[in-house]
């Protein structure tokens, strides 16, 4: 009995298809994470000013040049990774946490309450993020904490919508019906059966949300609403460098390039993971 099936040759190649974009994104993210974790390992003091070396072009001594106070832009960009990433991560944690809570509640409560909550999510999700965050900052004042909470709240509705949709699917699942038939209490039902199964898409969601959060954080701190000078945050550096753009492009463009590279990497990896998760080729 020798039934030779044609070997799926083409398949092997598609599996090993090189993905330069994905590899580059992974590398950029690794570098950014390393910079955020141990900035002092790669760069010197981000606050050390040298009044004799103001606005110098990139050179061997100063890879990214110097800014208007003679501070090394490379050192500042490396140290900025920690500021920018931690703001993004903290805001995403708030958004995902609140999103799970509100989404599960909306998915489990009575239809009328669900309708009201969902309409609220829809309207807020469509509202300009920057304006929502500005409203919060106007009330709570400027500063890093306020910026984090503002972005967290502004991006919550998006997560809540996804979790609600997932909750509606899960609560119809046979295992939930069985648990009800076995007499599981409501808290047990929610915590033991619904919640863990709702959490599936959360890592993917958080990954894409993180990119967005880093982007908004840079925008708001560019407007002067985030960490205050002299702290080396990417958006704040861009805003400081804007005034010297005509003589020193490096002081604003290179921190900007760092934001862009980080956000693109997060988006590329996020989309890839999402496609994998949904079982589609990316």
Partner 1 sequence: MTRAVARRIASGAVVLWAAATAAYLALLAAPGDIVDSLIGDGADTPQIRAQIITEWNLDRPAVVQYLDYLWRAAQGDLGRSYLLQRPVGEVIGDQLPPTLRLAVAAAVFGVVLALVLAVTTRHRWVRRASSTAELIIVSTPPFLIGIVLLSVFSFRFGLFPVSGDQGWAALVLPAVTLGLPIAGVLAQVLRDGLDRALDEPFAVTARARGLTERAVLMRHALRHSLIPAVTLLGWLTGALLGGAVIIEQVFGRPGLGQVTLQAVGNGDMPVVLAVVVLAAAAFVVVNTVADLAYLLIDPRLRRSTS
Where do contacts with partner 1 occur on this chain (CB under 8 A)? 21, 119-120, 123, 126-131, 134-135, 137-142, 211, 215, 218-219, 222-225, 235, 238, 242, 245-246, 249, 252-253, 256-257, 259-260, 263-264, 267-268
Quote the least distance from Cβ 21 to partner 1, whole Å: 8
Cis geometry, peptide bond prior to residue 184 (ω within 30 degrees of 0): no
Collapsing DSSP to helix, strand or coil, 219 comes out as helix
Residue 101 CB neighbour total at 10 angstroms: 14
The per-residue b/e assignment along 44-65, b for 16 or more CB within 10 angstroms, e otherwise, is eebeebeeebebbebeeebebb
CB of 159 to partner 1, least distance (A): 17
Distance in Å, CB of 92 to partner 1, minimum:
16
Q: Which is nearer to partner 1, 88 or 193 (CB)?
A: 88
Tell me the torsion sign for CA atoms 210, 216, 258, 233: negative
**Of 177 and 282, which has the nearer Cβ to partner 1?**
282
CB nearer to partner 1: give 5 or 139.
139
Q: Do the beta carbons of residue 220 and residue 126 sit within 8 Å?
A: no
CB of 41 to partner 1, least distance (A): 27
Q: Which of 87, 84, 88, 55 is nearest to 69 (CA)?
A: 55
What is the nearest approach in angstroms of partner 1 to the Cβ of residue 250?
Answer: 10
- Tokens for 10, please give them: 């083409």
Helix, strand and coil content of the chain, in percent to the nearest 5, comes to: 70, 0, 30
Tokens at 255, concatenated: 């921190």
| Residue whose CB is less far from partner 1, 176 or 223 | 223
CB of 86 to partner 1, least distance (A): 18
Q: CA 214, CA 236: separation in Å to the nearest integer?
A: 13
CB atoms within 10 A of CB 118: 18
Integer-rounded Cα radius of gyration of the chain: 24
Which is nearer to partner 1, 141 or 196 (by Cβ)? 141
**CB closer to partner 1 out of 63 and 249:** 249
Q: Shortest Cβ distance from residue 211 to partner 1 (Å)?
A: 7
């Amino acid at each position: 009995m020798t039934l030779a099936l044609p070997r799926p040759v083409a398949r092997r190649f598609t599996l090993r298809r090189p993905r330069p974009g994905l590899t580059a994104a992974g590398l950029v993210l690794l570098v950014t994470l390393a910079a955020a974790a141990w900035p002092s390992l790669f760069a010197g003091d981000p606050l050390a000013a040298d009044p004799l070396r103001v606005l110098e072009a990139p050179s061997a001594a100063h890879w990214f040049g110097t800014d208007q106070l003679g501070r090394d832009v490379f050192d500042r960009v490396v140290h900025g990774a920690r500021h920018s990433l931690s703001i993004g991560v903290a805001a995403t944690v708030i958004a995902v946490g609140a999103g799970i809570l509100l989404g599960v509640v909306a998915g489990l409560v009575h239809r009328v309450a669900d309708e009201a909550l969902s309409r609220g999510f829809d309207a807020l999700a469509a509202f300009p993020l920057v304006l929502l965050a500005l409203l919060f900052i106007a009330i709570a004042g400027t500063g890093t904490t306020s910026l984090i909470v503002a972005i967290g709240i502004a991006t919550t509705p998006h997560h809540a919508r996804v979790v609600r949709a997932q909750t509606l699917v899960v609560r119809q699942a046979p295992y939930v019906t069985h648990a009800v038939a076995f007499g599981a209490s409501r808290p047990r039902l929610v915590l033991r059966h619904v919640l863990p199964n709702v959490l599936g898409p959360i890592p993917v969601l958080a990954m894409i949300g993180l990119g967005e959060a880093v982007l908004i954080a840079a925008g708001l701190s560019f407007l002067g609403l985030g960490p205050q000078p002299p702290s080396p945050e990417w958006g704040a550096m861009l805003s400081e460098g804007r005034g010297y753009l005509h003589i020193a492009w490096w002081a604003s463009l290179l921190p900007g390039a760092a934001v862009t590279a980080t956000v693109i990497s997060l988006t590329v990896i996020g989309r890839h993971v999402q496609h994998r998760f949904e079982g589609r080729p990316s």
